[in-house]
Amino acid sequence: MRVLSGIQPSGALHLGNYFGMMQKMIAYQEQEELFCFISNYHAQTSLSDGKVLARGTLEAAASFLALGLDPEKSVFWVQSDLPEVQELAWMLSNFTPMGLLERCHSYKDKVAQGGRPNHGLFAYPVLMAADILMFQSEKVPVGKDQKQHLEVARDLALKFNNEYGEVFTLPEPDIDDNVATVPGLDGRKMSKSYGNTIDLFLDDKSLRKQVMRIVTDPTPVEDVKNPDTCNIYQIYALFLDTAGRESLRQRYLTPGLRYGDVKQELFETIRDFFAPFHEKRKALLADPDGLREILVTGTEKARRIAFKTMRKVRKKTGLTY
């Protein structure tokens, strides 16, 4: 089965990125045909500083590779290195009803948060559809907040197929209900736009500072706590197996638990979990030319698939004459 997903290099990667998408993608490479890309076109909807975007692209690639993505077992590239995706986005735009985009909640949410209400942000789902359909993706790991965009991709594939025959595979969403939405420091979805993240690859002092900012309720120490409404518990549980989560839950239900103690444990857990990956990431970033070579090789593999799709699309739409 062909699996595809991408990640934006619009800032430091965080626990929401890792548990919401990266961990699952790395696991998929052992059993599925994996396509994974750095979505720097998408990042431009919120980031206009070219130097920051270029640096963030390399950092995101290095982070993914350090965490275990194997370019020999997957197709790994940078979105902008494959211009065919913009061509396909244009073609799909001609099958995209305005009402379909106007109903997308992500655009409204981001504008409400202060995002720029421009065409790039508005048409984001069409470019995402092009990313997905270009590679005939069968399964797309997404969070609940991106499920609507995947439905847009399916709608556009159906419209195109109804017009020209069976051209695109209809993708299916892959949502893990256990980590569909990773909570941030304030309980909302962990997101750079909310400023509520716990970032990957921080030094100990900075990591501990972020963890200690997790918002808690005012329940007294001598009272039992509710793990189901506690941000610390929800984040900590991501690192635990079933027995570990149950043990932590029982501690919450026993009087005397101090939130500060659990935060300290969480800090140590995060630090120790990601410690083995720090040096590999540092080595990758110290050799940017070598990192670029890995991405170029991935682009060449991606282009072979994209060429087949676009050859069919151009012929069906009359652009081959």
CATH 3.40.50.620 domain range(s) in the chain: 2-181+287-317
Confidence check: pLDDT of 165 > 90: yes
Tokens of 70: 């194997």
Task: Name the catalytic one among 108, 139, 192, 280.
Answer: 192
Distance in angstroms (rounded) separating the CA atoms of residues 197 and 192: 6
Q: What mean pLDDT do residues 65-71 have?
A: 97
Q: What mean pLDDT do residues 92-115 have?
A: 88
- Least confident residue range of 109-118, 229-238, 272-281: 109-118
Kindly give the pairing relationship between strand 33-38 and strand 172-174: unpaired
**pLDDT greater at residue 158 or residue 149:** 158
Q: Report the pLDDT value the prediction gives residue 164, as an integer from 0 to 100.
A: 97
Q: Check if 282 is active-site.
A: no
Q: Check if 225 is active-site.
A: no
CATH 1.10.240.10 domain range(s) in the chain: 201-281
Q: What mean pLDDT do residues 53-63 have?
A: 97
Contacts of 294 (CB under 8 A, 6+ apart): 61, 65, 71, 76
Q: Check if 192 is active-site.
A: yes
Q: Report the pLDDT value the prediction gives residue 178, as an integer from 0 to 100.
A: 61
Task: Name the catalytic one among 110, 139, 263, 280.
Answer: 110
Strand-pair partners of 77 = 37
Task: Name the catalytic one among 108, 144, 189, 282.
Answer: 189
202: confidence class by pLDDT, cuts 50, 70, 90: very high
Q: What mean pLDDT do residues 81-90 have?
A: 97
Q: Report the pLDDT value the prediction gives residue 193, as an integer from 0 to 100.
A: 81
| Alpha helix ranges (H) inside the chain | 15-17, 23-28, 40-43, 50-66, 84-93, 98-102, 105-112, 119-122, 124-134, 147-164, 204-212, 231-236, 242-252, 259-286, 288-317
Q: What mean pLDDT do residues 19-29 have?
A: 91
Q: Is 34 helix (H, G, I), strand (E, B) or coil?
A: strand
Q: What is the mean pLDDT of the chain?
A: 94
Q: Report the pLDDT value the prediction gives residue 80, as an integer from 0 to 100.
A: 98
Confidence check: pLDDT of 179 > 60: no
Q: What mean pLDDT do residues 204-229 have?
A: 96
Q: What mean pLDDT do residues 90-115 have?
A: 88
Annotate 40-82 with DSSP letters as a single string: HHHHTTT---HHHHHHHHHHHHHHHHHTT--TTTEEEEEGGG-
Q: What mean pLDDT do residues 163-171 have?
A: 97
Q: What mean pLDDT do residues 210-214 have?
A: 98
pLDDT digits 0-9 by tens, 276-291: 999 999 999 999 999 9
Contacts of 61 (CB under 8 A, 6+ apart): 9, 38, 76, 78, 284, 291, 294, 295
154: confidence class by pLDDT, cuts 50, 70, 90: very high
Confidence check: pLDDT of 104 > 90: no
Q: What is the pTM of this model?
A: 0.91
| Class for the domain spanning 2-181+287-317 | alpha beta
Confidence check: pLDDT of 32 > 70: yes
- Least confident residue range of 20-29, 80-89, 111-120, 248-257: 111-120
**pLDDT greater at residue 316 or residue 174:** 316
Which homologous superfamily does the CATH classification assign to the domain defined by 201-281? Tyrosyl-Transfer RNA Synthetase (1.10.240.10)
Q: Report the pLDDT value the prediction gives residue 275, as an integer from 0 to 100.
A: 96
- Amino acid letter at 104? C
Q: What mean pLDDT do residues 177-195 have?
A: 83
Q: Report the pLDDT value the prediction gives residue 180, as an integer from 0 to 100.
A: 58
Q: What mean pLDDT do residues 60-74 have?
A: 97
Q: What mean pLDDT do residues 121-132 have?
A: 95
DSSP 179: S
